[in-house]
Structure 1
C-alpha cells in the first residue's frame, strides 16, 4: 500500500513536470566544463548560486536533472554518466602535505578518471552527434597530470578539487540536455537491467525486477548518503532461493517511482514535519499543496512565517467539515473525499522503519484534528498565540527544560500523532509523562535576584491542555470545558480550585513573597491532600486575618480582596462532601483533575476584571502560565 501510494504520487508529479523521467535524478551541480568541437576545454563556468538562509547568504550548487546517480560502493566505485566530480572527469584531487597520502590520492584519481573515460566511450562511441564526439575527444586527449597547468582551471582549481559535481557544456547547451544523447542514455539503462522478470507487487504488471531499491535521503539520524525503505541485506532474509530484491519483487519502474516521490516529499520542508525521531510526510491526490498546508496548519502549527493562519480563520474553515462540504482554501476548492496519505518513518540500524501509514479522506482527517483541537482547547496566558496548542508544543511539554536532548520520547511522538489522526485514545504514556514532569519540576522565575525573560512554570497551558484532552477522550470527562467549570463537584477538581484560591490569598496578603504554598506543598497536595490541607487551612486563615486588618487600617491603596476571597472560600468548601472529608490519596486520574482545577481557577482569577466596587477580584497581576 505504501509503495503503491508513493508510485501514484510520482505519476502525478511527472504529469505536472515536477519529477524527472526514469533514469534521471535531481543533483546539485557546481561547475560546467565548456568544450570545443575537438574536445578541448575552453573554460569553466561556475554554476553555484547565492541563496538567503535567514540573515545569512550561502552559496549552493545549482539543481539540475542529470543521468541517474546510483549508490556507489566498493574499493573501485563506478563513474556517473555526464555528471560527476572533478576526480572522475579531470583526474584531480585535493593536495596533501604527506607525500605518501598525496601519491595514493593521485593514483586513485587516475583510476577514477579511467573509469569515467571507459564509461563514456562505451555509451557514446559511434554516435553521430557533435556533442557526443566532443565529450569522447575530451576524454581521449585530457592529461590529468597536466591539469593544474591548464589555463581554464587556474582560478577554480582548489574549489573543484575539494568537491562538487561537474557537467559538460557544448555550444551553449548542457550535453545531457541534447535529445539524441538523452535517448541514448535511456536506451542504455534499459539494456543494463537484469534479465530476471516477474510480476511487480506494486503495479501488477510483468517487468524487470529491481535487485536493489533506491536510497531515501533526508531522514534525520539515518545515513547522509541515504537509507533503504526496502532491502534484503542478510542471508536469513532470503527465501526459496531468491536473493535481494527478488524476495519481494518490485519492478525497476515502480522502484524508481516510489523512491523519487518519497525523496521529493522529504525535501519539501514546508510540508515535512519532524516529531521526535520520526519524520512525517503527507500528500493528497488532488490540490496537493493546499491540502498539505491545511493539515499542517491545523495540526502541526505553521512553521513558515509566510503561511500563518489565525485561530478564527481556521475555525471558520472547520465549519464546512460538519456539513461535509468542500473546503475553500488558498484559492482552491478541496473536496471532502480527497484521498490523503500520511507516512511516518524513522531511522534504524540497517534500513528505515515505518512508524505509521494512514490513508483516508482529507475531510475525515480534518474532522479528527478538529475534534482533537476542541478537546485540547484551554484558556492560555495572553502571550501564547493559541488556545489549542499545536502538536510540537504538546510534545515539548513532556520534556524536561534541563534535558540536553529536547526531543520527546520516539514512541510517544508517533503514538500521539497516530491517536490524533485516527481519533483514537491518547497514549497513557503521554498523560503519565506530563504528571511526572509536573511533580519533578519547580517554578523558575528568577536567578540570583534577576527576573528571567523566559520563566519556567511546572504547570503550563500546554500541560494542562494535555491533561484536559486525555481526561475527556480516555476517561469520558465530558464536563470539562476550555474555561473553568464552576458546576463540577468532583472532589479532586474542587480541591485544586481551593489550592489555587489559597495561593491567591497568600499572594494578596504578601505581594513580595518569594515562595508560595505552591512551591512548598503542591506535589503533596495533589497526591495526598489529607496530609497538608489542614495546615493550608490554618495558613489561609492567617492570611485572611491579615487582609482584614489591612482593610481596617486602610493600608492597602488598592481594592482589598478580603471579602471576595472569604466568600469564594466558603462556596468552594461547601462543594466538598463533609461526610467523606479530605481524600487521603488521589490516583492518576484524580491528580489530573486536581491539576486542571488549580490551573483553570488560577487563570479565571486573573481573567475576570470586574469593577472594584463589586468586590470581585484580586488586583495582583498574574505572572504564571
Structure 2
C-alpha cells in the first residue's frame, strides 16, 4: 500500500469514529468566538483557548477547509484570523484593508439571499462592522491575529455558525462550484475533481509555521504534457483533504502518534479490524521511541514492553497483536516550503518489533547506561559535536531508524562519526560503545564471541586487548597521582593509541614503571592487582610477535573502545578482589 493510500484509509476510519472532520472540513486552531444577535449586532467576544497551562492553547475544531495561501489574498469561509474577519492586526498590516475587503466581499456574495437566521446575522454584521469598533468595544490585544469563528448568542455553547445545517449545505455547494477538472484519482482509482493545490501540513519540526506541502509542482520542469500543478499527479480533493488532515492530527503536540528523531518528525499509526488492538500497538511502539511516564501506561502495555525488552518474541505471547496489526512509520523532514520523506515503512507489527528487539540485542553492553532503556535520540546525541541535537547529521537519524525497523545494516557513516567523536572529546560511555558494538555485529559480521556484551577476560582480539591494557595504564596513573592530575593519558593519548598503538604504548609502559613503584609504597596490594592485570593481558598477546601493531583497522578501533570500556568499568566481586590481593 502506498503512503497516500494508507493515510487515506486510516483517515476514513478516523472520520467514521469522529476523530477527524468530514469531507470539506479541516481541523484548525481557533482562539475566539464572536457571538451575534439575530439583527447582526455584537453580543460579545469569547476566548475559547485553554488557559489552564502556562501558555493559552487554542481549541482545535473542524471548520470549512482552509484555503491554500501563497502570495495572494484568499479568505476562508465563515472563519479566519482577525486581519481578514475584522480588519485588525497587531502588526503593520500592509495588506490589512485588502484582506478584510476580500473576506467581506466573499461572504456578502455567498450569504446573499440566505434564509438561515445565523447566516443572515453574519451578513448584517459584516455590512455594519468597522475595524475601529474593535478598540471601542474594549476587546483584548492578545486576541488580535488569532482565528475567529461565529455563533448566535443563544446557541454559542452548543453550535457555531459553520456547524449549522444551512452553513454546511452552502459550503458544499460553494466547494462543488470551485472544484477543478475531474480525472482518475491515483489513490482511489475513481473519477473525481482533482485538487489543484494540496492543503498545507503543519507541525513538522523546522518547516514553515504556515505549513508545507508533501505533493506540489512549482516549476515547469516538474510538469508533464502541459498539465498544471496538481493535475500532474491527480489526487482527488477529498483524498488530498483527508491525508493532510490525518498528518496534521498525528503531527500535533501530544497526539501520541509522533516522536522527533534528529531532524525527522516521525509519525506512526496502526491499522487493524480491532480498534483496541491498533491502539495498543501504537502505545507500545510510542513507548519504545519516546520517554513515557510508566504510571500513565496501562498494565497491558507495560507487560508487553517488559516482555519484549526481556527478549520474548511478541508472536509467542500475543499472536493477534503480532500478526493482525499492520503498522506504518513515516519520517518527514523540512525542505523549504516542502517536505522530504526521510523514510516510510510498513509491515506487520510483529515484524517491526522483532527487528527492534534485534537492535536492542545488538546495542546492549554491560555495565549498561544509567537510564534503563535509553531513547534513540539519546544515542544520536552522542554523535553530535558538543552533544547538541542541532548538530546531529540530518541524514543520519532517518537512515538509522530505517535500518533498525527493517533489520538491514546500519548506516556506515554512524561508525566513522562515533569513532571521530571519541577521538575528539575522549568520552567513552555505554551509549557510544553500544553503537560501535551494534555496528561490529551487523555491518562487519563479527561474531558474538569476538564482540562480547560484558567483560570477557578470554577474548584474544588484539584491539580488545589493547583497549583493556590502555584502561589499566590509566588506572595506574590515576591511582599513583590521584587529585594531582590535570589530564589523564586518555585525554592526551587515546586517539593515537587506538589508531597507531606502536607510537604510544611503549611510552605508556615506560611511564607506568614509576607510578607502580610509588604505589608499592602506598598501596602494595593494589599494585599487585594492577601488575597482574598487565601481565594477564600481555600474556594473551600473540607469542613471538610485536604486541603493539603499527595500525588498527576501524573495526579493531571499535573493539579497542569496547575493551577499554569493559576493563575500565568492570567491577570484580569481593571474593575475586581478596583472591587477587592474596
The alignment's TM-score, normalised by the length of structure 1, stands at 0.84
- Are 1:193 and 2:158 counterparts? no
SS at match of 1:598: helix
Match of 1:87 among 75, 83, 92: 83
Secondary structure of the residue aligned to 2:436 is helix
Match for residue 323 of structure 2? 336
Distance 2:410 2:577 in 1: 46
**Deviation at residue 94 of structure 1 after TM alignment:** 4.7
Q: CA RMSD of the aligned region, Å?
A: 2.7
The alpha-carbon deviation at position 369 of structure 1 amounts to 0.6
SS at structure 1 position matched to 2:483:
coil
The residue number in structure 2 matching 1:452 is: none
Any conservation in 2 of the 1:320–1:327 contact (CA below 8 Å)?
no
> Counterparts of 2:559 and 2:302 in 1: how far apart (Å)?
27
**Do the aligned partners of 2:468 and 2:560 also contact (CA within 8 Å) in 1?**
yes
Instruction: Name the counterpart of 2:462.
Output: 491
Paired residue for 1:276, among 262, 270, 273? 262
Shift of 1:294: 1.5
Q: Which residue of 1 aligns with 2:141?
A: 158
Helix, strand or coil for the counterpart of 1:371? helix
Q: Note the C-alpha offset of 1:599.
A: 0.7
Alignment of 1:132-531 (within 5 A): 132-140=119-127, 142-144=128-130, 147-148=133-134, 150=136, 153=137, 155-156=138-139, 158-160=141-143, 162-170=144-152, 171-172=154-155, 173-194=159-180, 196-269=181-254, 270-286=256-272, 287-298=277-288, 300-302=289-291, 314-317=305-308, 322=313, 324-325=315-316, 327=318, 334-380=321-367, 384-386=370-372, 389-401=374-386, 406-442=390-426, 458-478=427-447, 479=449, 480-514=451-485, 515-531=487-503
The whole-number CA distance in structure 2 between the counterparts of 1:589 and 1:60 is 51
Match of 1:566 among 531, 545, 548: 531
What is the CA deviation profile of residues 400-455 of structure 1, one whole-angstrom value per residue up to 9, with x for unaligned ones? 2176x64310111111111111111111110101111111124xxxxxxxxxxxxx
Q: 1:8-55: CA deviations, max 9, x gaps?
A: 121121122100011112222222222122222222222232132xxx
Distance 1:244 1:148 in 2: 40
1:498-548 residue CA offsets vs partner (Å, 9 max, x unmatched):
111222233333333413332332222211112222222223333333333
Indicate whether 1:577 and 2:525 are aligned.
Answer: no
- Alpha-carbon distance between aligned partners in 2 of 1:521 and 1:8, rounded to the nearest angstrom: 58
Q: Is the 8 A contact 1:217 1:266 kept in 2?
A: yes
Decide whether the 8 Å contact of 2:67 with 2:75 is kept in 1. Answer: no
Deviation readout 1:470-514 (Å, 9 max, x if unpaired): 111111222122211222111111111111122223333333341
Distance 1:488 1:95 in 2: 69
**Displacement after TM superposition at 1:379 (Å):** 2.0
Contact 2:314 2:322 in 1 (8 A): no
CA distance in 2, matches of 1:159, 1:110: 20
Flag the structure with higher helix content.
2
Structure 2 runs not aligned, ≥5 long: none
Say whether the 8 Å CA contact 2:262–2:397 is kept in structure 1.
yes
Distance 1:425 1:145 in 2: 62
Cα 1:468–1:496 change in 2 (3 A) is same
**1:312-340 CA distance string (max 9 Å, x none):** 97341356853624549xxxx73434111
Q: Does 2:575 match 1:614?
A: no
The structure where strand makes up a greater share of residues is 1
Q: Structure 1 residue 110: deviation in Å? A: 4.4
Return 5+ residue gaps in structure 1 as ranges. Answer: 97-103, 443-457, 553-559, 619-625
Aligned counterparts, 1:62-141, within 5 A: 62-75=59-72, 77-94=73-90, 108-140=95-127
2:76 aligned counterpart, secondary structure: coil
For residues 209-244 of structure 1, the C-alpha deviation after alignment (integer angstroms, 9 at most, x for no partner) is 111111111112221111110011111211112111
- Note the C-alpha offset of 1:303: 5.4
Q: TM-score, normalised by structure 2?
A: 0.90
SS of alignment partner, residue 215 of structure 2: coil
Q: Deviations over 1:258-290 (max 9, x none)?
A: 111111111144432222222111111133443
The 8 Å contact of residues 26 and 241 in structure 2, kept in 1 or not, is answered as: no
Give me the whole-angstrom Cα distance separating, in 1, the residues matched to 2:296 and 2:442: 31
Q: How many residues align?
A: 566
d(CA) in 1 for partners of 2:42 and 2:521? 96
CA contact (8 A) 1:484 1:601 kept: yes
Look up the SS of the partner of 1:49 in the other structure.
Answer: coil
Is the CA contact (8 Å cut-off) linking 1:563 and 1:615 kept in structure 2?
A: no
The reply to whether residue 61 of structure 1 matches residue 58 of structure 2 is yes
1:76-125 superposed Cα distances (whole Å, 9 cap, x missing partner): x12222112333333344587xxxxxxx86xx544433322332233333
Structure 2 CA distance for partners of 1:95 and 1:472, relative to 1, 3 Å: closer
SS in 1 for 2:268: strand
Q: Distance between the aligned counterparts of 2:368 and 2:355, measured in 1?
A: 26
CA distance in 1: counterparts of 2:432 and 2:16, whole angstroms: 46
Q: Aligned pair in 2 of structure 1 residues 550, 117: CA closer, same or farther (>3 Å)? A: closer
- CA distance, structure 2, for counterparts of residue 186 and residue 583 of structure 1: 78
Counterpart of 2:516 (choices 523, 538, 544) is 544
Q: Matched residues in 1 for 2:262 and 2:228: separation?
A: 35
For 2:563, the equivalent position in structure 1 comes to 597
CA contact (8 A) 1:110 1:144 kept: no
